[in-house]
Amino acid sequence: MVRDVTLDLEERISVNRKLLEHHKVMLQLCTKLEKIADSLPNISNIQECLVICRDLFPIIKSAHNFEEKVLFPILHDKQQEDGGLKKNLERLRYEHWEDESFAEEISDVFNAYINEPIQSDAEKLAYMLRGFFEGVRRHIAFETEYLLPMLNKAS
């Protein structure tokens, strides 16, 4: 079934704004994770770390749900002839899945470290955190450069 995905200017601005809001929240999270990775094996604010452990997956999942259920269908339906777009959306979906798995794993390892801070675990955790936030930043940069201009044309 072909959906009617005609967007008026107001809808386009709304989708654009929501994507940027999700990106902003994720980038703020990345900044916090980088500070934590830099300070390990020390943890300066246990309460903040516990909150991050709790919120990491939901924040990432919420952004991905918006992109996959709202943004990607708009772009896909509007530019079906674009084979490059189809491949890029598949790649982004795959990265979402990877980041969600990674977020869950980090929350578990981080929680365990907060409860029992062992030096060797600190190195592993710092490595995981860096891999995660660097990947998320790259992903967001690509979406900003590649998807946002397409959305702005999807009228």
Residues engaged in binding Fe ion (CB under 5 A)? 67
Going by C-alpha positions, the residue among 67, 63, 71 that lies closest to residue 5 is 71
Of 13 and 70, nearer to Fe ion (C-beta) is 70
Residue 9: count of CB within 10 angstroms of its CB: 8
Q: Which residue is nearest to Fe ion (CB)?
A: 67
Q: Where are the alpha helices (DSSP H) in the chain?
A: 9-39, 46-66, 72-78, 83-115, 119-142, 148-153
Of 67 and 85, nearer to Fe ion (C-beta) is 67
Minimum distance of Fe ion from residue 25's CB (angstroms): 13
Going by C-alpha positions, the residue among 53, 151, 148 that lies closest to residue 104 is 53
Minimum distance of Fe ion from residue 64's CB (angstroms): 6
What are 92's two structure tokens? 């982004």
Minimum distance of Fe ion from residue 142's CB (angstroms): 8
Of 29 and 67, nearer to Fe ion (C-beta) is 67
CA distance 86 to 100: 21
Minimum distance of Fe ion from residue 54's CB (angstroms): 22
Minimum distance of Fe ion from residue 67's CB (angstroms): 5
Of 8 and 69, nearer to Fe ion (C-beta) is 69
CA distance 3 to 21: 26
Of 35 and 86, nearer to Fe ion (C-beta) is 86
